[in-house]
C-alpha cells in the first residue's frame, strides 16, 4: 500500500477517474449497439452525430484508440447509409 500522502491521494483519484472512464465507455458502447440495432433511417441519421461525438470524446480522453474510433465511425456510417 502507498506510504506517502500524495500516493494515497493518487490511488483515490485514479479510482474515481477509472470509474468515470468505465461509465463513459459503457454508455458509448450501448449507444453504438442501439444505432446498429435501429432499422429506421431517420432515427439512425439523428443518432449518428451524437454517437460519433461520444467516440471522439473517448479518443480525446485516451479511453479508446483513435483508429478504433475511426473504424467504428466508418462502419456506423456505412450502416446508416445502407438503410
Instruction: Walk me through the domains of the chain, giving residue ranges and CATH numbers.
Output: 5-82 (1.20.58.110)
> What is the mean pLDDT of the segment spanning 2-23?
94
Contact 51, 35 (CB under 8 A): yes
Q: What is the pLDDT of residue 3?
A: 85
Mean pLDDT of 32-51: 96
80-to-33, 37, 53, 61 alpha-carbon distances in Å: 13, 11, 16, 26
At 42-61, the pLDDT tens digits run: 999 999 999 999 999 999 99
Whether the pLDDT of residue 2 is over 80: the answer is no
- Judged against a pLDDT cut of 90, whether residue 1 lies above it is answered with no
Amino acid at each position: 500500500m502507498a506510504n506517502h500522502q500524495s500516493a494515497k491521494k493518487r490511488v483515490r483519484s485514479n479510482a474515481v477517474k477509472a470509474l468515470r472512464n468505465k461509465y463513459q465507455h459503457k454508455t458509448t458502447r450501448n449507444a453504438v449497439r442501439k444505432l446498429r440495432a435501429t432499422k429506421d433511417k431517420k432515427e439512425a441519421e439523428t443518432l449518428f452525430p451524437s454517437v460519433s461525438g461520444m467516440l471522439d470524446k473517448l479518443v480525446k480522453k485516451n479511453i479508446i484508440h483513435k483508429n478504433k474510433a475511426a473504424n467504428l465511425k466508418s462502419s456506423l456510417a456505412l450502416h446508416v447509409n445502407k438503410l
